[in-house]
Chain A
């Protein structure tokens, strides 16, 4: 026996963030009867899966994985999504906007219109179909100012709406997931992570990622404001466009029509870390073509039931 006070140890910032996220995942499992984890194959949701492994292995995940497929995703990402779900041996549900469109649940103004905001319809239908009472998502508060004010356990009414003026106070690590039937909780375990934290965690854990996160040659239209629009069958170049073949990577992967790559030569996670630490543009500012249309567009979409 020693009479000396034990030496305390400080958790590194990644250990701290990881411990908080694992605690949140377990609270969702403990408090909700039928949760689901939203998994796109993107980096943030891949981090969620690693955290879920740490929270629940050697047991199975107490929730299935679900992807709301806009039909406008890069093939590399959806293939990776399927590969990862199979590797984990967890159930993957895919519900697609294409089906919602054919059922007349979504009406597009034009066939090539950005489909991000329409995801809400398919998501809410899927929630009703399976009776999910909670959706776990990989959103982060540093992404956007509406997210900065959202709770870790965020209450949505029967219409999937977020009411920023009527959020439940969230104190200590005591979360309140109680709802009535038809209502829903959105839980965000990596709320407190920044983009740099995510990349540092990917590096530390040696997580695999879809190839389009790394630098590759790609034909893009260089817009006058500097944004790069990838040339794809969905987004073909028009006459007079400045088409160039550049070395690029995606900082965020989503709907093809509204996600832009950035110029980069980073071919490894370490090189991406270096670029992320010295970048001058925010993740959404650099890569989301849709968020720039309106200063409040994320806030608006969240009120409509978006993630």
Chain B
């Protein structure tokens, strides 16, 4: 096996395809831990001492082979109490691309954990056990992944070794999932048969699935397009910090949320509505001609105008709408239910304002996709409702611009993060 190739950024001897973040949806029964273990093991992300530790544990537990699922074994607190603690992050590299896996366990707090893991993911692996086919859980995973707007959805039909690598079984599962996806309005899905246990179609193709001609899992992960689409959206830049060492320099520090900006571009400052042009773009000692979505930079403007943390710099020709009322989807994360007509602190980009839950909520039933009216939201509920805002907030709909349509709600008395929010439209 090859050791991970090295990318030397100075000589650029290898292609660097950036960082892909993905999440895995499934329970222990679907072989999720084994799949992650297989990815880490076959891509050589597991080093000898970590492997020896799980070999010892496997032997102690009487397994003949190394139990790869032990690689994702949890904390002492989890083992003692037989619980799993939300999301764990794991890392591997194939030499051309770095990967961050958000591993969200199943069980009772599933929705909350999955939404958290999905919020930063470019891709979701949705595991289906080939013996069991599409379950309620599969439908929940698809619905949530769609809600959070994950661009690449990959349905992994695992445990093909236990159904004799039968193509007909794979095809039947594909038809079932496609049927549901049409109902959901989900975009295109990819399907992949594999065996995490035997290692077929994970890193190696293996000899057992000759009828499958598509990419292996790792090939698929290496070639999935990143969130480049964000660069083609209108420019948005939440100001995080103002750098003002002396009279002659005033820099606005932040991370480009969407679009791109060049020296000379006309910008609008929100909420003040004043305009200026980009004088310079700094990244460390370097001056850039252009910055794109995802980059953290410091902007200097032509005019000396009053701008502070929480303001938004936006493309003058396509500014976002500022609204004092929003229609949103909320995923309730807190164990304490929502207070009817409750006030919460809303954080959007670098801006904070107060929000009032206005009227009743339409709670989504993840199994039937039907909605019912509720006055309170409980943990794991997903619901559509209206928010009234204390101050106008410049937003874009989440479906159009993830970074500009996402927010969280914080309880001002406990400081807990109580909800994840998705802007649907301004009212």
Where the two chains meet, the residues of A that have a C-beta atom closer than 8 Å to any C-beta of B are 5-6, 8-20, 22-23, 26-27, 29-30, 53-60, 62, 141-142, 145-146, 148-149, 164-165, 167-174, 176, 178-180, 191-192, 194, 196-197, 200, 203-204, 270, 273-274, 277-282, 285-286, 295-296, 299-300
A-B contact pairs, 23 of them (CB 8 A): A10-B17, A12-B9, A12-B18, A22-B255, A23-B296, A29-B241, A30-B240, A58-B245, A58-B249, A58-B251, A142-B91, A146-B75, A149-B75, A167-B86, A169-B116, A171-B115, A171-B119, A192-B19, A192-B91, A280-B47, A280-B49, A281-B49, A299-B77
B187 close to A (CB within 8 Å): no
Among A8, A14, A278, A285, point to the contact of B50 (Cβ < 8 A): A285
Q: Contacts A277-B3, A285-B50 given: A8-B9 contact, CB under 8 Å?
A: no
B353 close to A (CB within 8 Å): no
- CB pair B19–A17 under 8 Å, yes or no, is yes
Q: How far is the CA of A274 from the CA of B5 in the complex (A)?
A: 9
B4 close to A (CB within 8 Å): yes
Contacts of A59 in B (CB 8 A): 243-245, 251
- CB pair B98–A13 under 8 Å, yes or no, is yes
Which segment of B123-131, B168-176, B226-234, B389-397 sits at the interface?
Answer: B226-234
Separation in Å of the A292 CB from the closest CB of chain B? Answer: 9
Q: Contacts A59-B245, A194-B91, A286-B49 given: A13-B407 contact, CB under 8 Å?
A: no
- CB pair A10–B228 under 8 Å, yes or no, is yes
B134 close to A (CB within 8 Å): no
Which of the four size classes fits the interface of chain B?
35 or more
Q: Contacts A13-B18, A29-B241, A149-B87 given: A22-B47 contact, CB under 8 Å?
A: no
Interface of B is mostly: mixed
B333 close to A (CB within 8 Å): yes
Mask: chain B, 1-34; 1 = CB below 8 Å from A; 0 = not: 0011111111000001111000000000000000
- CB pair A282–B240 under 8 Å, yes or no, is no
Q: How far is the CA of A279 from the CA of B243 in the complex (A)?
A: 42
Q: How far is the CA of A8 from the CA of B402 in the complex (A)?
A: 17
Of residues 274 through 293 on chain B, the ones whose CB sits less than 8 Å from some CB of chain A are 283-285, 292
- CB pair B93–A176 under 8 Å, yes or no, is no
Among A18, A192, A273, point to the contact of B296 (Cβ < 8 A): A18
Among B93, B292, B348, point to the contact of A196 (Cβ < 8 A): B93
Task: Give the 5 A-B residue pairs with the shortest CB-CB distance, closest first.
Answer: A8-B228, A22-B296, A285-B49, A296-B76, A280-B48
Q: Contacts A59-B245, A299-B77 given: A9-B231 contact, CB under 8 Å?
A: yes
Q: How far is the CA of A179 from the CA of B3 in the complex (A)?
A: 45
Contacts of A15 in B (CB 8 A): 295
Where the two chains meet, the residues of B that have a C-beta atom closer than 8 Å to any C-beta of A are 3-10, 16-19, 47-50, 73-77, 83, 85-91, 93, 97-98, 100, 112, 115-116, 119-120, 226, 228-229, 231-232, 240-241, 243-245, 249, 251, 253-255, 260, 283-285, 292, 294-296, 309, 333, 345, 347-350, 402-403, 406-408, 410, 412, 415-417, 420
Contacts of A141 in B (CB 8 A): 89, 91
- CB pair B292–A9 under 8 Å, yes or no, is yes
Contacts of A273 in B (CB 8 A): 6, 8
- CB pair B116–A55 under 8 Å, yes or no, is no
Separation in Å of the B191 CB from the closest CB of chain A? Answer: 26
Q: How far is the CA of A296 from the CA of B87 in the complex (A)?
A: 18
Among B283, B292, B420, point to the contact of A169 (Cβ < 8 A): B420
Q: Which residue of B lies closest to A15 (CB)?
A: B295
- CB pair A172–B97 under 8 Å, yes or no, is no
Q: How far is the CA of A29 from the CA of B260 in the complex (A)?
A: 25
Separation in Å of the B16 CB from the closest CB of chain A? Answer: 4
- CB pair A203–B116 under 8 Å, yes or no, is no
- CB pair A8–B231 under 8 Å, yes or no, is yes
- CB pair B50–A282 under 8 Å, yes or no, is yes
Q: How far is the CA of A19 from the CA of B17 in the complex (A)?
A: 16
Contacts of B91 in A (CB 8 A): 141-142, 192, 194
Q: Contacts A13-B16, A277-B4 given: A6-B48 contact, CB under 8 Å?
A: no
Q: Which residue of B lies closest to A171 (CB)?
A: B119
Contacts of A174 in B (CB 8 A): 347-349, 406-408
Q: How far is the CA of A27 from the CA of B254 in the complex (A)?
A: 9
Q: Which residue of A lies closest to B333 (CB)?
A: A169
- CB pair A176–B408 under 8 Å, yes or no, is yes
Q: How far is the CA of A13 from the CA of B96 in the complex (A)?
A: 9
Q: Which residue of B lies closest to A174 (CB)?
A: B408
Q: How far is the CA of A5 from the CA of B260 in the complex (A)?
A: 12
- CB pair A169–B6 under 8 Å, yes or no, is no
Q: How far is the CA of A285 from the CA of B249 in the complex (A)?
A: 47
Among B4, B77, B333, point to the contact of A165 (Cβ < 8 A): B77
Contacts of A26 in B (CB 8 A): 240-241, 253-255, 296
- CB pair A285–B47 under 8 Å, yes or no, is yes
